[in-house]
Structure 1
């Protein structure tokens, strides 16, 4: 099976440091612009009441489709400075209008050479800020898209595991903005355990309300080109690891990954 990793949002954001001019390119019917091989077409055959049909183009919904398309996009933009892609959403950034125009022209020429089509109605050119991957990005940094956060605050209290997973998934996208998120959401995470009974307690309601309150009132812009790093001890309810990335401008950036553990695992202590 074809496997190609998608970049994480942090991978993308770490390359956007210091950009002042942004263009956003959207590919029309993204996957459907990719022809599939004759062998693969046999695997994409559909049995209907009107006979057998098979896809000649890469359809949405195929498990490997995102990785295939991302690999093609990464190959397409290879060597283009200040250009990043997440699936069919490509962004161009640079620090001067002259450099931006030159790189944008190079990208559009390459898109034409590869035979791709773009959706002009969803493209933006030479903008001071753009909405990308759920964030508003400009020269100062990034902040959560208020439309996305508003959607979270309007979500009703979960009544089952599926609804709770949906809520926490949306919250986790902005997890780095919420201090000690693993502590705040701990009562909710307990409901996701395999042997747990879904019982919405006052502590669950308190955690839910606290998350909504933080998302509603406590957003701050995170500067992408941050020059200093702050470190703090991880709480006893979580273990984590730090990893370092280097941006296009040569700046080093530390990120963290937190994992919530069971009560038995919490007995581990550091020396």
Structure 2
């Protein structure tokens, strides 16, 4: 497995369009390509096609595993970063809808590791609606603890072994 520092490429791509960010402190205009723009990957791909090269000193080769965007990728497959699992274990019971949204945001990022995620999270999701009063009951506590447990015991996502028979279960809950 190889890794190179391609995220700094965004800092070298100057942009011509007016990309601004409005906050209560004022307007901020980007001078270089920010992360998250819709066309940024296409521009990045054009740079690669024009033979843009990575700096050798920032590249790493023959790694056993790579941490990438909250995941660990190795020869076994993809699994949740252990640092995130520790954060999930230490997560206190939410007291407000905002705290529930924060937890569901983290849990939702890893939803592909949990079958029937939407069904499990439904009692929590209902509490985030403005029309619902915030009343934490047993079913919300069970949903919260179930999500925590399933995230901490999440399986490793890997490619199937082509030699054996396998069954595909489709999860349309997301």
User: Which ranges of structure 1 fall in alignment gaps of 5 or more residues?
Assistant: 1-21, 47-51, 79-108, 233-241, 243-255, 260-271
Structure 2 CA distance, aligned partners of 1:205 and 1:155? 13
* Alignment TM-score, normalising by the size of structure 1: 0.52
- When residues 134 and 55 of structure 1 are mapped into structure 2, their CA distance, relative to the original with a 3 A threshold, is closer
Cα contact 2:79–2:154 (8 A) shared by 1: yes
Name the counterpart of 1:58: 33
Structure 2 CA distance, aligned partners of 1:45 and 1:139? 41
Q: CA deviation at 1:59?
A: 4.7
* One of 127, 133, 136 as aligned partner of 1:200: 136
* Alignment TM-score, normalising by the size of structure 2: 0.76
Q: CA deviation at 1:53?
A: 8.8
Aligned pair 1:35/2:14, yes or no? yes
Q: CA deviation at 1:204?
A: 0.8
SS in 1 for 2:4: strand
* One of 127, 143, 153 as aligned partner of 2:63: 127
CA RMSD for the aligned pairs? 3.2
Name the counterpart of 1:220: 155
Name the counterpart of 1:181: 117
Name the counterpart of 1:16: none
Structure 1 CA distance, aligned partners of 2:75 and 2:146? 31
* One of 204, 214, 230 as aligned partner of 2:167: 230
- When residues 28 and 118 of structure 1 are mapped into structure 2, their CA distance, relative to the original with a 3 A threshold, is farther
Q: Deviations over 1:15-37 (max 9, x none)?
A: xxxxxxx1112236443311122
User: Which ranges of structure 2 fall in alignment gaps of 5 or more residues?
Assistant: none
- When residues 229 and 133 of structure 1 are mapped into structure 2, their CA distance, relative to the original with a 3 A threshold, is farther
Structure 2 CA distance, aligned partners of 1:176 and 1:59? 27
Name the counterpart of 2:94: 158
Q: CA deviation at 1:222?
A: 2.2
Larger strand proportion of the pair: 1
Q: CA deviation at 1:191?
A: 1.0
- When residues 127 and 187 of structure 1 are mapped into structure 2, their CA distance, relative to the original with a 3 A threshold, is same
- When residues 226 and 159 of structure 1 are mapped into structure 2, their CA distance, relative to the original with a 3 A threshold, is farther
Structure 1 CA distance, aligned partners of 2:21 and 2:68? 35
Structure 1 CA distance, aligned partners of 2:29 and 2:11? 13
Structure 2 CA distance, aligned partners of 1:182 and 1:28? 32
Cα contact 1:32–1:59 (8 A) shared by 2: yes
Structure 1 CA distance, aligned partners of 2:120 and 2:21? 47
Aligned residue pairs, count: 168
Q: CA deviation at 1:197?
A: 1.2
Q: CA deviation at 1:208?
A: 0.9
Name the counterpart of 1:137: 73
Name the counterpart of 2:52: 111
- When residues 72 and 225 of structure 1 are mapped into structure 2, their CA distance, relative to the original with a 3 A threshold, is farther
Structure 2 CA distance, aligned partners of 1:229 and 1:138? 22
